Amino acid sequence: MQICGILLLTVPTIQYGGYFLLKVLSRRSGTSLTEFQRSMFRAGHAHAGVLVLLSLVAELLTDHSGLTGSWMWLARDGFPAAAILVSGGFFASAAGGGRTVPNRWVIILYLGILILAVSTLTLGIALIRNS
């Protein structure tokens, strides 16, 4: 349950990110972004919120999955790790003045996608087998 508490504490940071994004998109921040950067920042913010919610649900489902050891760790901690990596990957790959294509940090996004896929398959299969 400690992870659930930590995940809930991330929600205000996601809210602040939404506030910052609103200021940037309405051009009230003084920050100049390319259309590519706006799109990537929107995607990063949206994924952060959705994946944190998914992480909370996955925490509860893991308790009923019958998983143990490393598999349980993957299901329990993979979802929050993916939330950080996927949203962070969107932001990091768009960082830099005037950027119109992803930089090398896009690898963070792909790593998060991989961890999310493996965690989802692990938990899904475990729940089906344990029912």
Domain encompassing residue 94: 2-129
* Residues 6 or more apart whose Cβ sits within 8 Å of residue 123: 58, 61, 62, 65, 67, 75
In tens, the pLDDT along 80-90 reads 999 999 999 99
In tens, the pLDDT along 37-94 reads 999 999 999 999 999 999 999 999 999 999 999 999 999 999 999 999 999 999 999 9
Asked if residues 51 and 86 have their Cβ atoms less than 8 Å apart, the reply is yes
Query: What is the structure's pLDDT at 109?
Result: 98
Asked if residues 52 and 44 have their Cβ atoms less than 8 Å apart, the reply is no
**Identity of residue 90:** F
Count how many domains the chain has: 1
pLDDT > 90: percent of the chain: 85
pLDDT at 105 exceeding the cut of 90? yes
State the CB neighbour count (10 A cutoff) for residue 28: 9
Query: What is the structure's pLDDT at 21?
Result: 87
